[in-house]
Amino acid sequence: MQIDLGKIKIAWKGAYDPEATYERDDAVFYDGSSFIFVGTDPKTGVDPTDTATWNIMAQGYAQSKLVWAGGPNGHSHASAAGSSLDISSTHVEADPAYASVDNSVITIQKPGFYRVGGYVMQHTNSGHRYFQIRHNANTVQYNYMYGAYWMTTTADYTAYFNEGDTISFHAWATGTNLYAAHSHGYYTRFFLTYMGD
């Protein structure tokens, strides 16, 4: 078998660069996959999701992306049912292409599958502890505990989110010596991860 190297036309360009100009048979790596330029005229700034200009050569897999991580800015002693948690203490700033965070609400900017979760440490001497994750004000994770003085609750939720959808965390406690969410020493933390579309 002979291969005429003069007829191999693919020109590998490495990672896609939105400022580069690409022409027919240029190939790039983008979002875990490789693509080949099939447009008739050279173009700049047309990313490989444009199927009129690019074809997929080798399908990779979507890589998850940590979009935000944070938690309460201080101890929450909330006892009112449904109390929302302030999550303005940020450890990974929200990526504005995916989500925005405003005090106690995360708003999705890019539609797709997201995973949201984390843990909250709570305390009461003689009462109950509650923890919820809400998607568009609908409770999708709900934890309730009575008895032990201290407890750490975890929650994990994966779903498709549309642009404008919201996520919020809610914690409250009843009884005495309340810690609806204990943040000292990072005892209460949450995360948001983009999983793909």
For the structural domain made of 65-196, what CATH number should be given? 2.60.120.40
pLDDT by residue (tens digit) across 3-55? 555 556 789 999 999 999 999 999 999 887 899 999 999 999 998 989 999 99
pLDDT by residue (tens digit) across 60-74? 766 788 999 998 888
Neighbours of 4 (CB within 10 A): 6
- CA nearest 101: which of 87, 115, 122, 113? 87
Parts of the chain belonging to CATH 2.10.10: 5-58
What is the SS3 assignment for 7? Answer: helix
Parts of the chain belonging to CATH 2.60.120.40: 65-196
Q: Is 177 left (phi over 0), alpha (psi -120 to 50) or beta?
A: left
Domain formed by 5-58, architecture: Ribbon (2.10)
